[in-house]
Amino acid sequence: MSRRYITTITLNPSLDRLYKVADFHVSGLFRLAKENQPRIQPGGKGILIAESLSVLNNTVLAMGFCGGHAGNSLKEVLHEKGIATNFTWVENDLRSNIFIYETKNQTITEINEAGPWVEERDFEYFTNSLQLMLPQTDFIVLAGSIPPGISNSAYENIIQLCRHFFVPSLLHTTEKYLEPCLQIGSKIICPDLRSCTKFLGVELVNTEDYIKMSELMLNASDRTEIILSIINPSLVIAATRNGIKVLSSDAKNEKLMPGFTDNFLGGFINSYLKKETLENSLIFGFASALACMQNLLEKIESEEKLMDHISRVKVQDQNES
């Protein structure tokens, strides 16, 4: 019997460089100590979710676009982690994102490249490959940005293809790429809310605003069942047609750090596909993210280590006082 995959689609993956610098500031000169040499690791939101799912003993296939020496390096690292790959190769090299972690004040400076140019014919090759893999796929994760050269409606086309094969999907991306997909309706939608003060015309100030935004997305298509709004490490909102769940934690950091949402989604999908209740899946996802907060871009190490964080998560239905 052939394997059934959770397939993650990262149209714009990267090899990320993480620098740790004490007292970083603009226009300064900084020399890295030997112990603080840059850490190079796979990047792109779908790739990070794939890594979390793999650690939790899921069979994962990573798809998307790759190119150049960096693309080969990405494939090798993923294979070492037990993640199968089926990338569509492009002429240009994989992008590289830079993270500068200022250790004194624990701030992050991010520099994200746009990514390699991808021809429309490359997207056609990709969709043909995806069509061959969908009969072996139980669930699709679409996450991250869309590279230059292909239409912003790429996710819309992929979701329609998944529906043809009756494969449910989760979409996690920014408003620019998410809005064209709302009426098509991915089963689960998780907007990328990093640095957002406004989304779909809703000013995001308090919990009620995030609930309003979630309900707008939920009501855009009957096919959408869950909206996950991961606001910060102490607040997550899940909207369904049965009501709203507000999850909180004891985390003090008020800003979403890189990797938090990806670890949350990895843990959530892991439990959700094992037929856990929505509430238990949300708690497991939250605990997965909390377990990785100590270090920037830290990955889930094991299910056992994140279980210690379950008790840190509280769930309240919107109608409860």
Q: What is the DSSP string of 99-148?
A: EEEETTTTEEEEE--------HHHHHHHHHHHHHHGGGEEEEEEES---T
Average pLDDT over residues 271-289: 96
Average pLDDT over residues 52-75: 95
Q: Both tokens of residue 222?
A: 């009957």
In tens, the pLDDT along 198-216 reads 999 999 999 999 999 999 9
* 5-27+34-317 maps to CATH 3.40.190.10: no
Confirm if 94 and 68 have CB atoms less than 8 A apart: yes
Average pLDDT over residues 87-104: 89
pLDDT at 1: 36
Q: Both tokens of residue 305?
A: 């280590």
Indicate whether 302 pLDDT > 80: no
Give domain limits for the chain: 5-27+34-317
